[in-house]
Amino acid sequence: MRDAVAPVPILHIVDAAADDLLRQGVPSGGPVGLLATEGTLAMRLYPERFAERGVEVIEPRASAMSELVTPAIAAVKAGRVAEAYAPLAEAAHGLMAAGAVAVVLGCTEIPLGIAAGPALPFPVVDTVDALALAGIAWWKAAAGTAA
């Protein structure tokens, strides 16, 4: 986790998400669905980093983004969190129907919307939680305690 340039460890959110998929028993290789903002999807951060681990990424169709994901993210940002659950759950189910074995929630608003309703019936990774778990695991290893 140490970089040749940085003297401190660098924890990558995509690696943390991949590790959390394994922790949940999701077979490596995927494919995994990715719910994220349009900007995050455009960056290709998740597909490129997951590809290094042999994991294929399925993204929502443009219609699902414009009709479900983007409005749900806007609802969370406006404080209408409960309103975001149904469209986000529908988008997640769509990814599973497209062949995903799990869904990665790749932005900060989406996990809030998903948490506003019943748990989804398939593996889901909240990338913020996954990164926090990776940080705790790193700290425990550095401190010499059990993870």
* Domains in the chain: boundaries: 29-138
In the block, residue with structure tokens 């940085």? 6
- pLDDT at 146 exceeding the cut of 60: no
Q: What's the pLDDT at 1?
A: 53
CATH 3.40.50.1860 fits 29-138, yes or no: yes
Q: What global pTM score does this model have?
A: 0.89
pLDDT tens by residue, 78-96: 999 999 999 999 999 999 9
Q: What's the pLDDT at 141?
A: 87
pLDDT tens by residue, 30-72: 799 999 999 999 999 999 999 998 999 999 999 999 999 999 9
**Contacts of the segment 49-53: beta carbons below 8 A, 24+ positions apart:** 49/12, 49/14, 49/15, 49/18, 50/14, 50/18, 53/18, 53/28
